Structure 1
Amino acid sequence: MSGMIQTISPVDGRTYVSRPLADHGAIEAALLRASGAAYMWAATPLPERLARLTALVDAMVAMAGEIGPELTWQMGRPVSQTPGEVRGFEERARYMIGLAPQALAPVDPGPKEGFIRAVKRVPLGVVAVVAPWNYPYLTAVNAVVPALAAGNVVILKHSHQTPLVADRFQAAADAAGLPPGVFQHLDLSHADTARLIGDRRIAHVCFTGSVAGGHAVVQAMEGGFGTAGLELGGKDPAYVRADANLAHAIENIADGIFFNSGQSCCGIERVYVHDSLYDAFVEGVVAFAKGYRLGDPTDPATNLGPMVRTSSAEFVRAQVAEAVAQGARALIDPRHFAADRPGTPYLAPQVVVDVDHSMRLMTEETFGPVAGIMRVASDEAAIELMNDSAYGLTAAIWTSDVEAAESIGDRLETGTVFMNRCDYLDPALAWTGVKDTGRGATLSRVGYEHLTRPKSFHLRSKI
Structure 2
Amino acid sequence: MLEYKELYIGGRWTAPATDRRIRVVSPHSEQPVGSTPEATAADVDRAVAAARRAFDDGPWPRTDPAERIAAVRRFADAYLDRQEELAGLISTEMGAPLWFSHVGQVGATAMATEAFLLAAATHPWEERRVGTFGSPVLVRREPAGVVGVITPWNVPHFVTLAKLVPALLAGCTVVLKPAPETPASGLVLAEILDRAGLPDGVVSVLPGGREVGEHLVTHPGVDKIAFTGSTAAGRRIAALCGADLRRVTLELGGKSAAIVLDDADPAEVAQGLQMASLMNSGQACIAQSRVLAPRSRYAAVVDALAAMVDGLSVGDPLDMANYIGPMVARRQQERVGSYIELGVREGARLVTGGPGMPDGLTTGWYVRPTVFADVGNDMRIAREEIFGPVLCVIPYDTEDEAVRIANDSEYGLAGTVWSAEEDHGVDVARRIRTGTLGINQYLIDFNSPFGGFKASGIGREFGPEGLDGYVELKSIALPLG
**Which TM-score bucket, shorter chain as reference?**
over 0.9
Give the whole-Å Cα distance in 2 for the aligned partners of 1:387 and 1:275: 19
Give the whole-Å Cα distance in 1 for the aligned partners of 2:134 and 2:310: 72
Match for 1:248 among 260, 268, 273? 268
Match for 1:99 among 119, 123, 139? 119
Give the whole-Å Cα distance in 2 for the aligned partners of 1:102 and 1:246: 43
| Residue 27 of structure 2 corresponds to residue 15 of structure 1 | no
| Residue 85 of structure 2 corresponds to residue 66 of structure 1 | yes
- The code of the aligned residue for 2:283 comes to Q
How has the CA–CA distance of structure 1 residues 337 and 215 changed in structure 2, closer, same or farther, with 3 Å as cutoff? closer
TM-score by structure 1 length? 0.94
Conserved? CA contact 1:198–1:223, under 8 Å: no
Q: CA deviation at 1:450?
A: 1.6
3-state DSSP class of the match of 1:88? helix
| Aligned 1:32-71 pairs, distance under 5 A | 32-39=49-56, 40-71=59-90
Which residue of the partner structure matches residue 425 of structure 1? 444
For residues 48-81 of structure 1, the C-alpha deviation after alignment (integer angstroms, 9 at most, x for no partner) is 1101101101111111121111111111112233
Conserved? CA contact 2:416–2:438, under 8 Å: yes
Which residue of the partner structure matches residue 310 of structure 1? 330
Which residue of the partner structure matches residue 471 of structure 2? 452
Which residue of the partner structure matches residue 9 of structure 2? none
Which residue of the partner structure matches residue 286 of structure 1? 306
Give the whole-Å Cα distance in 2 for the aligned partners of 1:257 and 1:111: 49
How has the CA–CA distance of structure 1 residues 113 and 359 changed in structure 2, closer, same or farther, with 3 Å as cutoff? closer
Give the whole-Å Cα distance in 2 for the aligned partners of 1:42 and 1:150: 8
How has the CA–CA distance of structure 1 residues 38 and 370 changed in structure 2, closer, same or farther, with 3 Å as cutoff? same
Which residue of the partner structure matches residue 266 of structure 1? 286
3-state DSSP class of the match of 1:276? helix
Of residues 261-270 and 237-246 in structure 1, the stretch that sits farther from structure 2 once superposed is 237-246
| Residue 396 of structure 2 corresponds to residue 376 of structure 1 | yes
Conserved? CA contact 1:339–1:346, under 8 Å: no
Give the whole-Å Cα distance in 2 for the aligned partners of 1:127 and 1:250: 41
Give the whole-Å Cα distance in 2 for the aligned partners of 1:378 and 1:426: 30
Give the whole-Å Cα distance in 1 for the aligned partners of 2:422 and 2:399: 14
- The code of the aligned residue for 1:81 comes to F
Of residues 113-122 and 153-162 in structure 1, the stretch that sits farther from structure 2 once superposed is 113-122
3-state DSSP class of the match of 1:324? helix
Which residue of the partner structure matches residue 298 of structure 1? 318
Give the whole-Å Cα distance in 1 for the aligned partners of 2:478 and 2:118: 30
How has the CA–CA distance of structure 1 residues 460 and 124 changed in structure 2, closer, same or farther, with 3 Å as cutoff? same
- The code of the aligned residue for 1:134 comes to N
Conserved? CA contact 1:34–1:181, under 8 Å: yes
For residues 298-351 of structure 1, the C-alpha deviation after alignment (integer angstroms, 9 at most, x for no partner) is 22322211111122122222212222223211111569942455x851112111
| Residue 348 of structure 2 corresponds to residue 350 of structure 1 | no
- The code of the aligned residue for 2:266 comes to L
Which residue of the partner structure matches residue 360 of structure 1? 380
Which residue of the partner structure matches residue 42 of structure 2? 25
- The code of the aligned residue for 1:214 comes to G
3-state DSSP class of the match of 2:99? coil
| Aligned 1:215-254 pairs, distance under 5 A | 215-254=235-274
| Residue 178 of structure 2 corresponds to residue 158 of structure 1 | yes
Conserved? CA contact 1:272–1:373, under 8 Å: yes
Give the whole-Å Cα distance in 2 for the aligned partners of 1:283 and 1:220: 47
- The code of the aligned residue for 1:30 comes to A
Give the whole-Å Cα distance in 1 for the aligned partners of 2:55 and 2:45: 15
Report the count of equivalent residues. 460
Match for 1:321 among 338, 341, 365? 341
- The code of the aligned residue for 1:49 comes to R
Give the whole-Å Cα distance in 1 for the aligned partners of 2:86 and 2:479: 55
Q: CA deviation at 1:38?
A: 1.4
3-state DSSP class of the match of 2:478? strand
RMSD: 2.0
Which residue of the partner structure matches residue 5 of structure 1? 22
For residues 222-243 of structure 1, the C-alpha deviation after alignment (integer angstroms, 9 at most, x for no partner) is 4422111111111011000012
Could you list the runs of 5+ residues in structure 2 that have no partner in the other structure?
1-17
Aligned-residue sequence identity (percent) comes to 29
Give the whole-Å Cα distance in 1 for the aligned partners of 2:40 and 2:382: 42
3-state DSSP class of the match of 2:204? strand
Give the whole-Å Cα distance in 2 for the aligned partners of 1:336 and 1:66: 29
How has the CA–CA distance of structure 1 residues 110 and 87 changed in structure 2, closer, same or farther, with 3 Å as cutoff? same
3-state DSSP class of the match of 1:177? coil
How has the CA–CA distance of structure 1 residues 375 and 177 changed in structure 2, closer, same or farther, with 3 Å as cutoff? same
TM-score by structure 2 length? 0.91
Q: CA deviation at 1:30?
A: 1.0
3-state DSSP class of the match of 2:177? strand
Give the whole-Å Cα distance in 2 for the aligned partners of 1:409 and 1:302: 33
How has the CA–CA distance of structure 1 residues 328 and 199 changed in structure 2, closer, same or farther, with 3 Å as cutoff? same
Of residues 384-393 and 326-335 in structure 1, the stretch that sits farther from structure 2 once superposed is 326-335
- The code of the aligned residue for 2:42 comes to G
For residues 91-146 of structure 1, the C-alpha deviation after alignment (integer angstroms, 9 at most, x for no partner) is 10011111013224334323788843121111111111111111111111111101
Conserved? CA contact 2:125–2:142, under 8 Å: no
- The code of the aligned residue for 1:338 comes to D
Which residue of the partner structure matches residue 390 of structure 1? 410
How has the CA–CA distance of structure 1 residues 403 and 62 changed in structure 2, closer, same or farther, with 3 Å as cutoff? same
How has the CA–CA distance of structure 1 residues 52 and 336 changed in structure 2, closer, same or farther, with 3 Å as cutoff? closer
How has the CA–CA distance of structure 1 residues 461 and 63 changed in structure 2, closer, same or farther, with 3 Å as cutoff? same
Which residue of the partner structure matches residue 177 of structure 1? 197
Give the whole-Å Cα distance in 2 for the aligned partners of 1:392 and 1:385: 12
Q: CA deviation at 1:4?
A: 3.0
3-state DSSP class of the match of 1:134? coil
Which residue of the partner structure matches residue 338 of structure 1? 359
For residues 393-430 of structure 1, the C-alpha deviation after alignment (integer angstroms, 9 at most, x for no partner) is 011100133333232222212111221112x2111111
Give the whole-Å Cα distance in 2 for the aligned partners of 1:313 and 1:193: 24
Could you list the runs of 5+ residues in structure 1 that have no partner in the other structure?
none
